[in-house]
Structure 1
């Protein structure tokens, strides 16, 4: 299917997975991992039609993902191919590169049908015209995921992705240096840090990447704060 847009596999706190478009385009120079169908086109159409999807003859599904996710993709690709009799091709493209690559490969007919994307880049992707809405499975997505996850892959009331995973923060500590009572509250953590910090010897009681808003936002939202205001809207300028 030669399409200029692709379905979204979206992420940052949330990631989404979409299997709503199939492609018969030629691959690029990356080594593919393909799963070959074994049934005829009639059987393919029968399975797909149950969910409102009818792929064209010779269709295949191209997935972009990082190499660490290949075992996971291979596993679900086998299930997809077994059900729909459509081959799945894995192309190694890191999640951080996918949106930029799709802007050029999509219009050329070389883009992926399924990809991973941080949910906080959804606005740019929609404005660039490189995504298809999650329309066929929109109600199913709403019914099976918490509203916060659905909102993360939606823009202006339209769902563009499928939540795949949620990330959070962890606090690691050395039990030989920190007692449990030191972790009872943030006040106790701050108190411990002040007594432990030794800048000259590069010793710190508590650290995080203060220059990365991804980590700073937890301090804001965790205390009821917000960034742009409750009624703020995104202004998209095209030209």
Structure 2
């Protein structure tokens, strides 16, 4: 889709039909602007925080901004771009589908600046096929919560020592197991859609490293200190059924309420699945802002997207909704470094401890297939003799075109 558009623009330039072909990208975007208000879509329970930033933007720019909460921003943008907001906040893994559909505007004004200010993981998340479209807003990854009364620092070093010392909650038997465990395959030496997550035929989840992780899943039920949890993980912690859990910032207040000053946080431990010790990884996610390709104010929309994602804005959003900045300077600020969970997430959202979730549309094929395999393996429905065949089938299925 993108290549076809670029070819058409080049043809029109040669034909003399686009008078502004020689101008800068910024000039092109600004020349299209009008005085209509800008609309900005954000996630649920985020509007109050972003309205404050929108008011600041209005004071510095001759344009009004309306902030609206929406649950399925990508769906709204794909269904009716003309009716969608000018600037939209959404998870980075939706970017590929939106770019392929021609629904988002290229980041023409702030690419160089963002490459200097934000962490590499965020830059990658905001880009698709080597072109930047997004404006990183924060960075997130799961980590380990633990009870300090049960574990000391040495206990946190490996998955083996962690599960020998106490009971650990892990979603391994229900929907969501795919999100928790797939990064462990990658940490061990397998890949999901290639090394960078952008090659639809590049999955090697069926190699020896992937097979060894699946074997571990098949034996996990034998370890009484690995407790299968999901939506009940907080009640399990409260009732003393577990003393540690792999979770995220969304559970911070719940865990604090239960453990109080005994709450500890750490990045994932190391593990040995038969290929040597590796750092276990979590999926990292980067909420990004994008500009609607159908906006009538591309220049101002890009300005707004950058304004609500700069260093100062990311720190304001952290205060409002506890998202950890992707901006390098903001991550080093006293506000972040003095916050236990934010500091842990800052370490977790590095290549050493997490892997960026792929942005390919084919991820829609991946989730149900991977989750079914993991749950069936944990339940004993997949024997060790059948695991290689099941992984081979998985790799084949997740590379198929997405059915609309």
Q: Please state how far the C-alpha of 1:225 moved relative to its aligned partner.
A: 4.2
Residue 79 of structure 2 is aligned to residue 104 of structure 1: yes
Following the alignment from structure 2 to structure 1, what is the Cα–Cα distance between the partners of residues 109 and 102?
19
**Which of the pair is proportionally richer in helix?**
2
Mapping 1:72-151, distance limit 5 Å: 72-94=49-71, 97-106=72-81, 109-151=82-124
Which sits farther off after the overlay, 54-63 or 175-184? 175-184
Counterpart secondary structure, 1:136: coil
Mapping 1:166-181, distance limit 5 Å: 166-181=139-154
Where does structure 1 lack aligned partners over 5 or more consecutive residues? Answer: 1-48, 194-204
Mapping 1:158-237, distance limit 5 Å: 158-193=131-166, 205-210=167-172, 211-212=175-176, 213-223=178-188, 225-230=190-195, 233-234=199-200
Counterpart secondary structure, 1:116: strand
Q: Please state how far the C-alpha of 1:160 moved relative to its aligned partner.
A: 0.8
Distance change in 2, residues 1:208/1:127 (3 Å): same
Q: Please state how far the C-alpha of 1:87 moved relative to its aligned partner.
A: 0.5
Q: What is the TM-score of this pair, normalised by structure 1? A: 0.63
Q: Please state how far the C-alpha of 1:174 moved relative to its aligned partner.
A: 2.7
Where does structure 2 lack aligned partners over 5 or more consecutive residues? Answer: 1-25, 202-360, 362-400
Which sits farther off after the overlay, 211-220 or 183-192? 211-220
Q: Please state how far the C-alpha of 1:67 moved relative to its aligned partner.
A: 3.5
Distance change in 2, residues 1:160/1:70 (3 Å): same
Q: Please state how far the C-alpha of 1:102 moved relative to its aligned partner.
A: 1.1
Q: What is the TM-score of this pair, normalised by structure 2? A: 0.39
Counterpart secondary structure, 1:191: helix
Counterpart secondary structure, 1:188: helix
Q: Please state how far the C-alpha of 1:122 moved relative to its aligned partner.
A: 1.2
1:157-215 Cα distance to aligned partner (Å, 9 max, x none)? 1101011111122312233444554334322112224xxxxxxxxxxx11222343332
Following the alignment from structure 1 to structure 2, what is the Cα–Cα distance between the partners of residues 99 and 57?
25
Which sits farther off after the overlay, 157-166 or 62-71? 62-71
Which residue, 55, 60, 83 being the options, matches 2:37? 60
Following the alignment from structure 2 to structure 1, what is the Cα–Cα distance between the partners of residues 99 and 140?
23
Following the alignment from structure 1 to structure 2, what is the Cα–Cα distance between the partners of residues 137 and 70?
24
1:104-156 Cα distance to aligned partner (Å, 9 max, x none)? 221xx211111112111211111122111111211112122222211111111
Distance change in 2, residues 1:174/1:230 (3 Å): closer
Distance change in 2, residues 1:57/1:162 (3 Å): closer
Contact 2:106–2:131 (CA<8 Å) still a contact in 1?
yes
Aligned residues: 176
Counterpart secondary structure, 2:84: coil
Following the alignment from structure 1 to structure 2, what is the Cα–Cα distance between the partners of residues 168 and 230?
19
Distance change in 2, residues 1:230/1:67 (3 Å): closer
Following the alignment from structure 2 to structure 1, what is the Cα–Cα distance between the partners of residues 83 and 169?
43
1:7-56 Cα distance to aligned partner (Å, 9 max, x none)? xxxxxxxxxxxxxxxxxxxxxxxxxxxxxxxxxxxxxxxxxx99x73564
Mapping 1:151-162, distance limit 5 Å: 151-162=124-135
**Which of the pair is proportionally richer in strand?**
2
Counterpart secondary structure, 1:165: coil
* Structural RMSD (CA): 2.9
